[in-house]
Amino acid sequence: MAGFNIDNISIRGIVSCTPKTIEENINYPIFQEGEAEKVIASTGIERRRVADNTTTAGDLCYHAAHHLIKQLNWEKESIDCIIFVSQTPDYKLPATSCIIQGKLGLPVHCFAMDISYGCPGWVYGLSVIASMISAGNLKRGLLLVGDTPTKFKNRNDKTSWPLFGDAGSATAIEFDNTAKPMYFNLQTDGSSHQAIIITDGGARNPITMESLQEKQIEPGIARRAIDSNMDGLAVFQFGIKRGPSITQQLLEETNNTVDDVDVFVFHQANQYMNEKIRKKLHIDSNKVPYSLKDYGNTSCVTIPLTMTVACENYDLMNKNNTIVATAFGVGLSWGSVLIHQAPLKYLAHIDYEG
């Protein structure tokens, strides 16, 4: 598919929220002697935030949204839609967006919907909420993007556990007929859907006693059929191919070059893979922020999280910036968006106060 424009949309503010508990990869017990140092050196991930048993992605997003609305001075009555993007909803039903709408005290005329999405979730979710508001009937919306991958990764899987962290975010979107169009290009390859999958627990393979049994795949790699299983080699190859190509395509379709863009925010997979992508695109390292070191791969939250914790050099609250955000992952799916961003009214990272 070719890309598409969405007019009349401004992002007003972004808040990210992470649990307070920190896990240090250097202390991960499954690693053999010297392995932690190697993994940290290649992935760039030193530590991650981990939600406790009582905290969900919905809680992290609620907390972020509550803070953001207050800081923007938005009347609750003025919020017309709320979208929650996650792979870890609070319940199978009802939708977590409905629960958060109630908790935030948003009006009953507020549209609420969940979108099941992983790593490219912020880019995909932004395209949906922006499309809804673009026509001008709805004026304000909240895009809540959160995930707690530690709840579906196995602690005894050394190829996965040290990479992922939990986070939530809220992005405030407003109708603005002076805004320059956002330009999206979003793509999918469902024929590779098994590359990242939780096989059991959905309607296809309901949970059985066997789903709960942990199986030792190799030394240091154990998981259950209700845990996420990733074909690391295939996903790596997918990322280094699709990440650069979609970004390049977006730049060409918008008649831009790398030099026209102030900041490239990439999905934070791991440093080794992300640096391959950056170098393939010949982007200077000072245009590519990272949040991997302290937060790891936070699934769909990596882009808003990186904007809140690693973008101080770009002065997003005071300057106009041309931003390209590119993400890739589960689906498999990938996408890129170019945003001519006016100064944000609010941008912050907060810790979860449960």
Partner 1 sequence: MVTIEKFIELFEEQFDETPSVELKPETRFRELPEWSSLVALSVLSMIDDELNANITAPEMRTAQTIEELYNKIH
Interacting residue ranges for partner 1, rule: CB under 8 A = 38-39, 42, 159, 231-234, 236-237, 240-241, 272-273, 276, 280
Shortest distance in whole angstroms from residue 170 CB to partner 1 = 34
User: How many other CB atoms sit within 10 Å of the CB of residue 180?
Assistant: 18
- Smaller CB distance to partner 1: residue 42 or 78? 42
- Smaller CB distance to partner 1: residue 95 or 235? 235
- Smaller CB distance to partner 1: residue 155 or 276? 276
- Smaller CB distance to partner 1: residue 39 or 179? 39
Shortest distance in whole angstroms from residue 69 CB to partner 1 = 42
Shortest distance in whole angstroms from residue 195 CB to partner 1 = 8
- Burial class, 33, CB count within 10 angstroms (exposed 0-12 / middle 13-18 / buried 19+): exposed
Classify the C-alpha dihedral 177-65-318-294 as positive or negative. negative
**Integer Cα distance of 101 and 107 in angstroms:** 8
**Integer Cα distance of 247 and 266 in angstroms:** 10
- Smaller CB distance to partner 1: residue 104 or 292? 292
Shortest distance in whole angstroms from residue 41 CB to partner 1 = 9
Q: Which of 314, 59, 65, 326 is nearest to 172 (CA)?
A: 65
Number of H helices and number of E strands within the chain?
8, 17
Shortest distance in whole angstroms from residue 234 CB to partner 1 = 4
**Sheet strands (E) in 234-343:** 263-266, 321-329, 333-341
- Smaller CB distance to partner 1: residue 276 or 293? 276
Q: Which of 58, 30, 8 is nearest to 219 (CA)?
A: 30
**Integer Cα distance of 220 and 246 in angstroms:** 35
- Smaller CB distance to partner 1: residue 192 or 322? 192
Distances in whole angstroms, Cα of residue 179 to Cα of each of 9, 160, 186, 315:
6, 41, 21, 19
Half-sphere exposure of 17 (CA within 13 A, CB side): 26
Shortest distance in whole angstroms from residue 283 CB to partner 1 = 16
Shortest distance in whole angstroms from residue 236 CB to partner 1 = 5
Shortest distance in whole angstroms from residue 34 CB to partner 1 = 10
Element (H, E) at 237: helix 232-253
Angle (CA) 56-61-64 rounded to 5° is 135
- Smaller CB distance to partner 1: residue 148 or 270? 270
CB 332 within 8 A of CB 238: yes
